[in-house]
Amino acid sequence: MSEQPKAAVSPTACPRLPRGVRLVHNEAQGGWLLLAPERVFKADAISAEILKRCTGETTVDAMVDDLAKSFNAPRDRIFADVTILIGGLADKKLLEL
């Protein structure tokens, strides 16, 4: 289990991938991957959906609304998933808030 992120994720923040971090799709490697300084992370389907929305132009709130609608899932649960993922990635310098 991932520990509680240190970074506080505000609902009005617009997270984005910093320079040097890229989300790519690669068939040979089996799907979505996050390329970072000297590291590669596999992104599962849900993480990839969240990361695709981290463009620096969408608030966390809007992202959660959109995902809750797209996946027909309870908003509270999506909000919890999104903030844990985003906070954890911010701790690893893979996202900017």
Partner 1 sequence: MLAPESMPRPLGLLAELTHRCPLGCPYCSNPLTLDKRSDELDTETWARVFCEAAGLGVLQVHLSGGEPAARRDLEQIVKAARDAQLYANLITSAVGVTAERMRALADAGLDHVQISIQDSEQKSADHIAGYEGASQRKRALAAEAVKLGLPLTINMVVHRANIERVEPMVELALNLGATRVEIAHVQYYGWAMKNRAALMPTREQVERAVKEVEMLRQKHRGRIVIDAVVPDYYARFPKPCVGGWGRRSLNVTPAGRVLPCHAAEVIPGLEFWNVREHSLEDIWRNAPAFNAFRGDDWMQEPCKSCAMKEKDFGGCRCQAFLIVGDARAADPVCHLSPHHARVEELAQMRDETAYAYRG
What is the footprint of partner 1 within residues 57-96 (CB under 8 A)?
Answer: 90-93
What is the footprint of partner 1 within residues 4-23 (CB under 8 A)?
Answer: 6-7, 18-22
Which of 10, 11, 31, 40 forms a contact with partner 1 (CB under 8 A)? 40
Among 36-44, 53-61, 62-70, 73-81, the segment contacting partner 1 (CB under 8 A): 36-44
- Output the CA torsion 19→44→7→80 (10° steps): 140
- As a whole number of angstroms, the distance between CA 26 and CA 61 comes to 29
Which positions touch partner 1 (CB under 8 A)? Answer: 6-7, 18-22, 24, 26, 28-29, 33, 35, 37-38, 40, 90-93
